[in-house]
Copies of this chain bind each other. A is one copy, B any other.
Amino acid sequence: MRRGPRPTLKAIAKQLGVSVTTVSRALNGKAEIYGISKKTEEAVLRAAKKLRFSPDPVARGLRLNQTLSIGLLIPDIANPYFAEIAKNVEMAARRAAYSVILCDSQESTDLEVESLALLRGRKVDGLVIAPVGQSARHLEELQDGGLPVVVIDRHFPRLKLPYVVSDNYKGALDATNHLIERGHRTIACVQGLARTSPNRDRVRGYQASLKKHGIAADASLVVGSGFGEENGYVHAKLLLTKKRGITAILALSNLIALGILRALSEDGLKVPGDISIICFDDQPYCAYLNTPMTTVDQDNEQMGQIAVRLLLEQIQSPGKPGGEGIMLPTRLIERASVKRLTR
C-alpha cells in the first residue's frame, strides 16, 4: 500500500501551489489565527488525507523539543507483577498518544543509572520508574524538575518525587489481623529485600498487628533477605527446624511463597492443615494451586494508570509542584490457605 517515501509538507505544498508554512498551519488548526481562507484550508486538508500525510515525529521532535514518548524503567519485566504494570502504563500512554520506551534494569542499580542516561538522551518527555530501590543517589538529580518523573512500587521517603505505591503497611496489617482472628499466635514473616520501602512497611504492618493484639514480637520470627523463591525455601526450612509452634507464615512476595511451599512439601507438611500461609502479590495461578492461596492483592492496574496520569499532568503543566504521592489500597483475597484454629 504505502509506496515509496512518506509524504512531506513540501510535497503537499508543491501539489497545491502554496507554501509549506500554509500547509503546516492549516494542518495544525491554526488557519483562523493566521487568516488562511476556508478554500485553501480545505484543499490542504483534503490533500493531506489523500496522501495519508502524518507529520514526521523525528523532525517534529527536533523543532519542538518534544518526542511524545515516555520512558518506562522496570527492574524485571519478566516478573508478572511488573509486566502487568507495564501493560497498564502502555495502555494509558497510548490513549494519550504517547509511546513507551521500555528499559529493564535487571535489578541492577548500575543498569538503572545507564538506562536513565539513555532515556534522557533520547529526550523522552517523561519517566515512569520502578527503582531497584537500593540507592537513591542517581534519582536525586531528577528532583530539579527538568524532566517529569513518577516513581512507582518502591519509593524513597526523602525523595521529593511524586510516587504511586501500594499501602504495604495496611496490607500486612490486614493479613496479620486475618491470621490472628483465626486463632494464630505464632506467626512467622519471611521478608524480601530489607532495605526497600515496601518491605519495611510490610514488616511494620505485621508488627503493628501483633502489638495491637497483645502478642509479643519475636524478632527471630522475621527472617529472609530477598524477594526470590530461593529465599523463601531456605528460610522456611530454617524456621521449621529451629522454631517450634509456628502455625502461620506471612510471605512478603509471591516467589517467597512458592519457595515456602516447596519446603513444606518436602517435609510432608500440608497447607493449611499444618501451616497456614498468606502471601503478597496475587497472581493468576494463585487460585489454582492445590490449596488456593489467600493473598494480599496489589492493584497494579491502577498503579500503572495513575502513574501515567500523574506524569501527563506534570508534562502538560510544567513547573507545578508535582503531587505528593499516592497510596493504593490493597485487598485481602481469601482462599483456602488459612485454617481456623480452635483451641
Contact = CB atoms under 8 A, between A and B. Distances in A.
Contacts of A87: 76-78, 104
A83 B77 contact: yes
Interface stretch (A43-51, A157-165, A280-288): A280-288
A125 B284 CA distance: 36
Nearest to A291: B290
A90 interface: yes
A261 interface: yes
- Copy count, this protein chain: 2
A54 B122 CA distance: 10
Interface stretch (A95-103, A200-208, A315-323): A95-103
A123 B78 contact: no
A289 interface: yes
Residues of A in contact with B, size category: 35 or more
A80 interface: yes
A67 interface: yes
28 contacts: A2-B141, A2-B146, A54-B121, A57-B122, A57-B123, A58-B58, A58-B62, A58-B122, A58-B123, A62-B62, A76-B87, A77-B77, A77-B90, A78-B83, A86-B102, A90-B104, A91-B104, A99-B122, A100-B101, A101-B101, A255-B284, A258-B284, A258-B288, A261-B288, A265-B290, A285-B285, A289-B290, A290-B291
Interface string A70-83: 00100011111001
A115 to B, nearest CB: 8
A314 interface: no
A67 B101 CA distance: 13
A61 interface: yes
Contacts of A219: none
Contacts of A299: none
A54 B72 CA distance: 21
A84 interface: yes
Contacts of A54: 121
Contact of A58 (B67, B287, B289, B290): B67
